[in-house]
């Protein structure tokens, strides 16, 4: 018995199977689903000696998800042009959107890892969702995977009319707005010097040399996005004139 099969059939996986079956809507009999929820810190290998974790299945799931969403939008909005379809697809597969869905499904609670959940960022939720999609595709084929995506993502979470007005990147929105209005905008980022294990970055957003918003996060990109979001709500009336 190889290590994957041993792990997959272990008595402790009873809860794993029950919870995963509820998410999938069918019994997860393939070893792919264990791979889809395994973190690299476990250092597991398959019977051929190949290391495995969720990342390869995440790659597959990302591609399949994009295809299913493209098909859905093509059929749902027959008069839309390419630019509209591309923009709407990016809103649906937006990292924040997928993270929220993955978190609601509780996939991170099913992940096999040597690290505590607190060590993982928000993106892990979305990564695991894409990994599960990849597993369903390789196990059941495109049609079954398409049904799973509709059940899990499209039906409960996709409302086209709402998405049309949804801002997926506050930073991009604020930058475009400032350029259109010919307003000077600047993100000033510094790495915090702290005793904490994780790195933190602090960002102040200035408009016409006046600090409008500040934010702090574990990456420069996230800190800038947070600051831009705060600036948006601070300046919303001015922006929407």
The answer to whether residues 123 and 107 touch, using CB atoms and an 8 Å cutoff, is no
Biggest CA pair distance of the chain: 67
Name the phi and psi angles at 188, rounded to 5.
-110, 115
Neighbours of 53 (CB within 10 A): 21
Q: Once rounded to an integer, what is the mean pLDDT over residues 207-229?
A: 92
- Active-site position among 31, 58, 130, 225: 130
Active site residue 130: yes
* Burial class of residue 153 (count of CB atoms within 10 Å of its CB; 0-12, 13-18, 19+): buried
Whether 8 shows a pLDDT value over 70: the answer reads: no
Q: Kindly report the pTM of this predicted structure.
A: 0.72
Give the Cα separation of 7 and 131 in Å (integer).
18
Rounded (10°) angle between helices 14-24 and 123-140:
80
| Catalytic position from the list 62, 139, 146, 224 | 62
- For the chain, domains (ranges, CATH) are 3-159 (1.10.1520.10), 170-239 (3.30.160.20)
Residue 189 pLDDT > 50:
yes
Dihedral-angle region of residue 50 (phi above 0 means left; psi in -120 to 50 means alpha; beta otherwise):
beta
Instruction: Report the pLDDT value the prediction gives residue 2, as an integer from 0 to 100.
Output: 52
Q: According to the model, what pLDDT value does residue 237 have?
A: 82
């Amino acid at each position: 018995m190889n290590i994957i099969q041993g792990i997959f059939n272990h008595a402790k996986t009873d809860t794993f199977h029950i919870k995963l079956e509820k998410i999938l809507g069918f019994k997860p009999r393939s070893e792919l689903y264990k791979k889809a929820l395994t973190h690299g810190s476990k250092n597991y290998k398959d019977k051929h000696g190949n290391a495995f974790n969720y990342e390869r299945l995440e790659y597959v799931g990302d591609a399949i998800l994009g295809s299913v969403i493209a098909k859905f939008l093509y059929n749902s909005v027959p008069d839309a042009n390419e630019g509209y379809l591309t923009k709407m697809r990016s809103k649906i597969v937006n990292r924040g959107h997928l993270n929220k869905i993955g978190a609601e499904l509780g996939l991170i609670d099913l992940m096999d890892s040597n690290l505590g959940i607190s060590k993982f960022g928000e993106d892990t939720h979305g990564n695991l969702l894409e990994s599960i999609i990849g597993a369903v595709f390789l196990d059941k084929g495109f049609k079954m995977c398409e049904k799973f995506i509709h059940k899990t993502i499209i039906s409960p979470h996709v409302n086209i009319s709402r998405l049309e007005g949804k801002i997926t990147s506050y930073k991009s929105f604020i930058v475009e707005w400032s350029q259109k209005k010919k307003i000077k905008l600047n993100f000033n980022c510094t790495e915090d010097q702290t005793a904490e294990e994780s790195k933190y970055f602090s960002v102040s957003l200035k408009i016409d040399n006046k600090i409008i918003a500040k934010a702090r996060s574990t990456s420069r990109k996230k800190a800038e996005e947070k600051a831009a979001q705060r600036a948006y709500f601070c300046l919303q009336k001015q922006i929407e004139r």
